[in-house]
Amino acid sequence: MSKRTLPRLAAILTAVAVLAAACGSSGNDSNAADGAPSAGSGLGQLLPFSQVQASDFTFEADVSDPNRGIFHVTTTEDMICTIVWGETEEFGHFNNSLAMNGTGIIQHDVFLPGAERGTDYFFRVQGSTADGNQFRSETGTFTISDVDTADDNAMVVHGANLALESTIVESSSEFGAGWAASNAIDGDTSTEWATKGDGDSGFITIDLGSPQSVAGTEFITRRMLDGTAITDTYTITIDDGEALGPFNAGTPAEPNFNAGEFTGQVIRFDIEASSGGNVGAIEVNVFAPAGG
Summarised one tens digit per residue, pLDDT across range 60-84 is: 987 656 778 889 999 999 999 999 9
The pLDDT score that the predictor gives to residue 31 is 33
Picking from 135-139, 180-184, 246-250, 287-291, which range would have the lowest pLDDT averaged per residue?
287-291
For 17, list phi and psi in degrees, rounded to 5.
-65, -40
The Cα angle at residue 112 between residues 111 and 113, in degrees rounded to 5: 105
The pLDDT score that the predictor gives to residue 61 is 87
* Residue 26 scores a pLDDT above 50: no
Stretch 226-247: mean pLDDT, rounded?
94
The pLDDT score that the predictor gives to residue 147 is 56
Of residues 95 and 152, more confidence is placed in 95
The pLDDT score that the predictor gives to residue 62 is 76
Instruction: Kindly state the percentage of the chain with pLDDT values over 70.
Output: 79
* Residue 8 scores a pLDDT above 60: no
Q: What structural domains does the chain harbor?
A: 3-143 (2.60.40.10), 156-287 (2.60.120.260)
* Residue 37 scores a pLDDT above 90: no
Stretch 154-177: mean pLDDT, rounded?
90
Picking from 49-53, 65-69, 133-137, which range would have the lowest pLDDT averaged per residue?
65-69
* Residue 266 scores a pLDDT above 90: yes
Torsion angle defined by CA atoms of residues 218, 222, 226 and 229, in that order, rounded to the nearest 10 degrees:
-80
* Residue 41 scores a pLDDT above 70: no
The pLDDT score that the predictor gives to residue 189 is 84
The pLDDT score that the predictor gives to residue 65 is 65
- Mean pLDDT, the chain, rounded, equals 83
- pTM score: 0.57
The pLDDT score that the predictor gives to residue 29 is 34
* Residue 90 scores a pLDDT above 90: yes
Stretch 215-239: mean pLDDT, rounded?
92
Of residues 265 and 10, more confidence is placed in 265
Distance CA 234, CA 218 (A): 9
User: E strands within the chain?
Assistant: 46-48, 58-61, 68-86, 93-95, 105-113, 120-128, 134-136, 140-143, 167-171, 193-194, 203-221, 231-238, 242-248, 258-274, 280-287
- With beta carbons less than 8 A apart as the criterion, state whether 122 and 139 touch: yes
Tell me if residue 10 falls in helix, strand or coil: helix
Of residues 145 and 147, more confidence is placed in 145
The pLDDT score that the predictor gives to residue 225 is 61
